[in-house]
Amino acid sequence: MSMIDRINAYAGELTALRRDIHAHPELGFEEVRTAGIVADLLERFGCEVHRGIAGTGVVGILQGRTDNGRRIGLRADMDALPIEEATNLPYRSTVPGKMHACGHDGHTAMLLGAARYLTETRDFDGTAMFIFQPAEEGLGGARAMLKAGLFERFPCDEIYGLHNQPGGGRGRIKLCAGPMMAAADFFDIRIRGKGSHAAWPHQSIDPVMITAGLAQALQSIVSRNTDPLKAIVLSITRMQAGASYNVIPETAQLAGTIRTLDADVRAMAATRMRALSEAFATGFGADITVELRDVFSVLDNPPAQAKAAADAARDLLGAEQVDSCIVPLMGSEDFADMMMAVPGAYVWLGAGPGAGLHNAGYDFDDAIIPVGSAFLASMVERRTAAA
C-alpha cells in the first residue's frame, strides 16, 4: 500500500481532529488544550513525549528500526489568530474573537498524521522528532523554543515544515532554494511636538504635519534608496494623532512593518528610517524616537535540503504537482529561526480555492491533510537514509 493510501485510510480521523482544534482556537503561548491533545496522541502512538517547552511547545521522539544516528525534525505550528470568524461552518470557532484563520489547526493535524504513520510503519533507521511550536503569529514561538534549548535537548540534523496556501492548486508543493520568505521588522515612530489652539498654529510644533510628511518621505527608502532589482516592502499600517477639531495635538505616532530578503537592504532601510526621522526632528524642532523590532528572520532554504524536499514531493505526487523554483514571497515565517539553527526546507502546500490566510472567511482545505502528512513522513524516511 502506498504511503498516501495508508494515510488516507484514517484521513477521516485527522479531519475530525482538525475540526475539533478549529472549534477551540487558542492564541500564541496559550495553546494549552491543543498541546494537551497533541501530547496525548503522540503518547498513544508510542512516542517519547516532552511537554511544556517554552510554555506550550511539545516534542515527540520516535526511534526507527535501528539507530543510525540520523535525526530528522518535523515542525508544525499550533496557534490561532485574534480574528472573529465569519463563517457558518458546523465546526466554526466557539471562542469569540479567536480563529484558526491561518490553518495551523491543519498543520497540527498533518504532523500528527505523519507521526501516526511513522509509528505504525517504522520503516526508517534513525530518529524522528515531531516539533509542535507555540505562537508562530508574530509572538516569537520559534525563538522561545530555541531559547528553551530545543536543539540542545533534541538535536536534529535537518528539519522540515510546510504551510497551506489557499488557491494554490490542491495538493501542489512549491518551494525555492535560497531566500523564500522575508525578514520582518516592526517599527514604532513617536513624534512629540508642541500642542496649541488650532487657530494659533504658530504657537505649536504640529506633529500631524510632521507625521504626514515623514510618512511620505519614508517611501523614498523603497523608491530611491533600494536597488530596484532587490525586494523591499515598507508599509505604514497605523497613524495616530489628535482627538478634536480645534486642538493641535502634542504627539503623533506611525507604525508598520519593513520586509526584506537581504541583510544589507534590511540594515540600509533601518538606517534611512532613523536618518529621515532625525532630519524631520531637527528641521521642525520636534522630538522623534524610532523603535525597530526584529520580528522574523529571512526564511532561507539551503540548496541541498530544498532539493531533498522537491525530490520527495515529486516521488510522492508526480513531477507535475511540484514547483521547485517559485518566486520568493514577502510574507514572513517563524520557522526561519529554527532553520538558522538547523538546515532544512519549508514548502507551500497548495489548497483548493477559498478565502485567503488571515481572512475571517478562511476555511482550511481538509482534502490536503493526507498529502501534508505523507510529505512530512517521507522526509523522515528519506533523510534518515541520507548519508
Q: Which of 58, 81, 102, 288 is close enough to bind Ni ion by CB under 5 A?
A: 102
Binding window for Ni ion (CB under 5 A); candidates: 95-103, 232-240, 317-325, 345-353: 95-103
For 61, phi then psi, to 5°, come to -120, 135
Size of the site for Ni ion (CB under 5 A): 1
Q: In a 10 Å sphere around its CB, with 0-12 CB exposed, 13-18 middle and 19+ buried, how is residue 249 labelled?
A: buried
- Identify the three-state secondary structure at position 345: strand
Tell me the residue nearest to Ni ion as measured from the CB. 102
Which runs of E-coded beta strand occur in the chain? Answer: 48-53, 57-63, 71-77, 127-133, 158-165, 173-174, 178-181, 183-192, 196-197, 232-241, 247-248, 251-260, 287-296, 299-301, 322-323, 344-350
Q: Are 380 and 374 in contact (CB under 8 A)?
A: no
Residue 163: CB minimum distance to Ni ion, A = 6
- Contacts of residue 115, defined as CB under 8 A and 6 or more positions apart, other chains included, come to 41, 42, 45, 47, 60, 62, 128, 130
**Nearest residue (CB) to Ni ion, 163 versus 266:** 163
Q: Amino acid letter at 50?
A: H
CA separation for the pair 204, 192 (Å, rounded): 11
* Strand 127-133 relative to strand 71-77, pairing: parallel
The x, y and z cell numbers of residue 363, run together, are 476555511
CB of 142 to Ni ion, least distance (A): 12
- How near is the Cβ of 136 to Ni ion at its closest, in Å? 6
Mark the segment that binds Ni ion (CB under 5 A) among 2-10, 44-52, 101-109, 210-218.
101-109
Rounded least distance, CB 81 to Ni ion, Å: 9
Nearest to 375 by CA among 324, 320, 323, 316: 316
What's the min distance (Å) between Cβ of 334 and Ni ion?
A: 8
Nearer to Ni ion, 102 or 150 (CB): 102
Cβ closer to Ni ion: 62 or 102? 102
State which residue, 54 or 101, has the beta carbon closest to Ni ion: 101
Task: Give yes or no for residue 299 binding Ni ion (CB under 5 A).
Answer: no
Q: Least distance from C-beta 216 to Ni ion, angstroms?
A: 32
Could you give the string, one character per residue 46-85, with x where binding to Ni ion holds by CB under 5 A and - elsewhere?
----------------------------------------
CB of 140 to Ni ion, least distance (A): 14
Nearest distance from C-beta of residue 162 to Ni ion, angstroms: 10
User: Closest CB to Ni ion among 78 and 102?
Assistant: 102
Span from 97-105, 113-121, 222-230, 376-384 in contact with Ni ion (CB under 5 A):
97-105
Nearer to Ni ion, 4 or 298 (CB): 298
74/276 with CB nearer Ni ion? 74
Alpha-carbon gap, residue 146 to 127, rounded angstroms: 19
* Closer by beta carbon to Ni ion, 138 or else 213: 138
Neighbour tally for 159: CB within 10 Å: 26
d(CA 305, CA 323): 15
> Which residues of the shown chain bind Ni ion in the complex (CB under 5 A)?
102
